[in-house]
Amino acid sequence: MPLPASSSDSSSAPARPLILALETSCDETAVALCDGLGNILAAAISSQIPDHQPYGGVVPELASRNHLLRIRPLITQVMEEAGMEFADIDAFAATAGPGLASSLLIGNTVAKSLAMTCGKPFVAVNHLEGHLLSPFIGRPEGIQPGVALIVSGGHTLLIHLRGTGDYQLLGRTRDDAAGEAFDKVARMLGLPYPGGPVIDRLAKTGDPAAFPFPRSMKDSGDFAFSFSGLKTSMLYLLPQLGDSAASRLPDLCASFQEAVVDVLVSKTLKAARSVGERWVSVSGGVSCNSRLRQVFTERCARAKLGLLLAEPSHTTDNAAMIAFAAAHRIRQGITSPLDSDIDPNLSLTSNPVPA
Ligand code: KG4
Ligand code: ZN
């Protein structure tokens, strides 16, 4: 199915193609509309955090049921905000993986149904590519080659980003993802889900040097990560502190956070040096962390490395990043067949490459 050519003329009409993207890989239902240049025209997100909070984590059946209830009103909201009709849309995109199968199916089925009904192409987007490219949303310089850190609840990946669709995995976590460590440690401390934002807030009044948590694999000589030892250290420390743990909560949060941040920043900068890139980009839910952003900013400036941090609104799961990734894939001539399947374990390096 041919797509209108990407245009950047100065008329007030948005550049083609217009893409409506759906993100339902986990517990956020999100919809976004972007133009052929990757500008986000409208976006909406419905967080399910309050629905899953009583269970201390995401319940897959609850997530998919909520996606089903929320996706339609969100699409209507985005179309109205952008002042568009379905007939105006040139392509429909959805996250195809990785993620929860029953959640992925909702966004995928809705986007494919719209594509079929409107006779327009469908684009299956890798959720990790969405995160990877999210620091470039709204930047006039376009996708820059560099070293990219993706830190979320499900992933901790270091990628050599050589161009759109050209991604080399440098290293990943061997156990827990960084966000998962934040969430599990928060639970140990009696804090609500998701733990990252709460630890971030409490850490602001704590001493990051109060407890010497381990910096696992900081000097391992490769680009792999491990956060399970750090989690176990907290598990052993809490009974030793006994009743005083409650009053030391800010110190515990600040010290734990400092250990995670130190390893993430040190290894990313080492990776940039190792592959000879001058740019570092950081994305995913944990990249919202205020201390991580501060330390990256300071250490990249010292190392004379360029730094692109995803905008806070594009760090946790959102559809703007899916629409943006779809726009770049469409520019490369890549669309997906309507019988393409979801893949809960989709890897970043298995993305389709331009013919
Ligand atoms: O990218 P995301 O929304 O979902 C995945 O694809 O996994 O990331 C969610 C993760 C959660 O583990 C959450 O605790 C963490 O991001 N997170 C944070 C912060 N905000 C969200 N971690 C540390 N500091 C934050 N401010
Ligand atoms: Zn994510």
63 shares a domain with 20:
yes
Residue 250 and residue 206 in contact, taking contact as beta carbons nearer than 8 Å = yes
> pLDDT at position 52, please?
86
Residue 11 has pLDDT above 70, yes or no: no
84 shares a domain with 46:
yes
What digits encode the pLDDT tens for the residues 68-101?
999 999 999 999 999 999 999 999 999 999 999 9
292 shares a domain with 158:
yes
Which 3-state string (H, E, C) describes 263-294?
A: HHHHHHHHHHHHHCCCEEEEECHHHHCHHHHH
> pLDDT at position 13, please?
73
What digits encode the pLDDT tens for the residues 156-180?
999 999 999 999 999 999 999 999 9
- Determine the residue of 128, 131, 288 to mutate for testing ligand 1's pocket, defined as the one with the most ligand atoms within 8 A of the Cβ atom: 288
228 inside domain: yes
What digits encode the pLDDT tens for the residues 273-300?
999 999 999 999 999 999 999 999 999 9
**CATH number of the domain that 213 lies in?**
3.30.420.40
Least confident of 20-24, 56-60, 71-75: 56-60
Residues 244, 210: Cα–Cα separation, whole Å: 14
Residue 323 and residue 17 in contact, taking contact as beta carbons nearer than 8 Å = no
201 shares a domain with 65:
no
126 inside domain: yes
272 shares a domain with 321:
no
Instruction: Kindly list the protein residues that place their beta carbon closer than 5 angstroms to ligand 2, a single-atom ion.
Output: 152, 317
34 shares a domain with 84:
yes
Mapped onto helix, strand or coil, the DSSP state of residue 4 is coil
1 inside domain: no
43 shares a domain with 108:
yes
> pLDDT at position 12, please?
67
141 inside domain: no
Least confident of 34-43, 194-203, 234-243, 255-264: 34-43
124 shares a domain with 37:
yes
> If pLDDT is split at 50, 70 and 90, which confidence band does 3 have?
low
- Provide the residue range defining the domain that includes 252: 146-309
- Determine the residue of 202, 316, 318, 321 to mutate for testing ligand 1's pocket, defined as the one with the most ligand atoms within 8 A of the Cβ atom: 316
> pLDDT at position 8, please?
46
Name all residues whose Cβ lies below 6 A of ligand 1: 26, 152-154, 179, 182-183, 194-197, 200, 284-286, 288-289, 316-317
Residues 46, 67: Cα–Cα separation, whole Å: 9
Q: Tell me how many domains the chain contains.
A: 2
329 shares a domain with 246:
no
Write the CB contacts of 291 (distance below 8 Å, at least 6 apart in sequence). Answer: 200, 203, 208, 257, 258, 261
329 shares a domain with 271:
no
276 inside domain: yes
Percent of the chain past pLDDT 90, that is, above it, reads 85
169 shares a domain with 122:
no
297 inside domain: yes
Residues 216, 335: Cα–Cα separation, whole Å: 41
